[in-house]
Structure formats: C-alpha cells, structure tokens
Amino acid sequence: MMTEPVYIIDAKRSPIHHVNGRFSKLEPEQLTTPLYKHFQLHHGINDRIPADEVFMGNAVGPGGNLARLSLLEAGYDRSVPGVTVDRQCGSGLEAVHQGFRHLQAGAAETVLAGGVESISRAPQRSFFASEAYPVSSTQERARFSPKFIGDPDMGEAAETVAKAYSISRADQDAFAERSYRLSWEEAAKTDISREIIPVSTVHADAEIRSPEKMNKIIRRAPVIFEKNGTVTAANSSRISDGAALTLMASRSSCQRHGLVPALEILDAAAVGVDPTMPGIGPVPAVRRLLARNHLSVQDISVWECNEAFASQVLASAFQLGIPPERLNTAGGAIAQGHPYGASGAILVARLMRLMQNGDLPLGVATIGIGGGLGLASLYRLL
C-alpha cells in the first residue's frame, strides 16, 4: 500500500531552564504558547492553514488533556483537536511519531506535535496503602513496572546498565565532560537561536558552566544511588523545564498551502526492553528502524540520543557502534537539561538544525524510556 510522504516544515523549542529557575512560575501551557504563536505567525497555522490535530507529550504534569489546554491557551480556534501523549521521557518523540503515522495514513494533512514539561510546577501524587504501595505515600511518579519485575528509580536503573555493560565511572565522567564542552561551544554560536523561540523575556538557555569548572565538579561528584556505584548527579542530566513543537505536513498539504519541507520523516520504531534497564532501549529500537529501511549505522550522518544518564548513552552507542564524532555533536541533556515530556521533541528540533547546517543527508533521534522502552525515528534532509 502506498503511503503519503510526511515532512517536517519547522521544529522549534523554548529555552531550557533548570527546575525552580526562570520558568518556575509558568504553567506548562504557558511555556508552549510562544511556540504555537510562532507557527501561526510564520506559517499561517490557525489562520489560512488549519491544524487537523495537535499531539503533545507530557510526563509529570497536572493531568487532563494538556495538548487541548495549551492550544486553547495560545488562542487557537476551538475547532482544533488535541491529544496528550504519555510515554514518559519519550513523550515528545512519541507525539512526533503519532503525528507521522496520522499523516502517513491520510488521517490528517497538517499536524503540530511536540512536548512540554514544567517540573517546577509538577504536582505530587498521593497513593493510599495497597498491595502495590504498602504504606500511604506521596511520590513524584506513578509506577512504571509491576513489583514482581522491578520498578527502580531511574538512577538505580542507570547503575544497573553501567554494571551490565561495564561502563566505568571514568567513562561516564569523560562523556559528561564532553557534553558540557560541546554544549558550551554550541551556546556561544548565534546559530543556536534558530531552534529557540523566546518565552516571555527569556531568549536563551540557562547558562552552562565552563568546561574547566565542570570538569573539576564532575571528577569530585559523589555517587548518589549506590554506595559503590558510578552514577553521580554530574554525569546525569539536569532536571529542567521546557517545551518543543514541530509542524508536520503531508505532501498534498505542502502543495496546497505552499509549505516548504525541511526534512522527510522516513520511519519510526518503538520497542520494549527489561524495565530494570530502560536506558538500553535505543539499541533494539535503532536496530529495528535501520533493518526496516535497509540501512547500517554507518549510513547515518548524525545521531541525537537523549542524555538522561551518561551510562545509558555510552552503553547504547557501544552496542550499536555509533561513531563518537556523529553522536550528540552539539552536546545534550547532561549539560543542557532534561524536561522529560519535551526532550524527545527537542531532539528533533536540534537534529533539524544540525542536518541543515552540515548538509547531512540522514539523521536519527532516539531515546530510552522509564518502564523499559525505546524509540527511534529516521529523517532525511530535503
């Protein structure tokens, strides 16, 4: 069966700021408003071009249909539908994948897809005592996996991955230093503003400490999850607030409305892995994606892999054989921050800019997810 080609017209993100920082008083729907208005102003969405659907990822927000709330907050027409996607820290990329499948199937012609997270405003969840929760408690997250399998905190899971794949503390620290160095260099480039839409008076990401300062901090950071472990706060991502949104369209929509494609989405894959080692999720997801498209790792020009923890990126990269010089070449979440529900869509915004700048023909965005999941998607520069 012939399917409709699907294009990304534009992909933007908000600045990323650390929890309880510059965005601490903004609700998640307020973080997304400037993104919606950008697509309205620059591409005519909600004016001359209707949005057939809006997909928004969110992981620890207030509940309800945040996608619908956010588009109405931005002043979009009340006829525009919206649906909120929760695949935890893969939610933003899952939203892009769902938009892709809708467009590919002909169920929509023009879609907005992305994610948002205000961890600063995230509510606490109360659980009454039960078999799953022996005592009443207040927690930040719901369960990812049943008790008989195991439901570790993400830091504990990162330690499990480090042990299983022999990723040393030195390896993780070196990768964290690389993330800070590349992110520091990227922040100094005026070009990074191409992927950022200001929120209120905030035009840039939170300041990144210099590599010289961070290298000392990284090497001295204490382990935090296991007494004799290797995972530290300094070789893990910074918890942050942020949002990202992509404008996606079918070929027929581009022809009808004069939209100019930047990337073509070729395919997307989702897999499940052991919930005690969610960080390894990118490995089978990427393998499935490449096999379906008759490609090898060497065929991919640039890789964007979410840096929740250094251990998981290194384990995935080693298993796949990704060349280091093609992986996260602009730094990543260890230095820049990880707004859970937005991070997957942020990967797409960054990937688009890097592919356009370097004239790089093929790119992959991939992410490992709490509960034992992996997502990956393949993009071609037009």
Q: Could you list the active site residues? A: 89, 338
- SS3 for the chain, per residue? CCCCCEEEEEEEECCCEECCCCCCCCCHHHHHHHHHHHHHHHHCECCCECCCEEEEECCCCCCCCHHHHHHHHCCCCCCCCEEEECECECHHHHHHHHHHHHHHHCCCCEEEEEEEECHHHCCCEEECCCCCCCCCEEECCCCCCCCCCCCCCHHHHHHHHHHHCCCCHHHHHHHHHHHHHHHHHHHCCHHHHHHECCECCECCCCCCCCHHHHHHHHHHCCECCCCCCCCECCCECCEEEEEEEEEEEEHHHHHHHCCCCCEEEEEEEEEECCCCCHHHCHHHHHHHHHHHCCCCHHHCCEEEECCCEHHHHHHHHHHHCCCHHHECECECHHHHCECHHHHHHHHHHHHHHHHHHHCCCEEEEEEEECCCEEEEEEEEEC
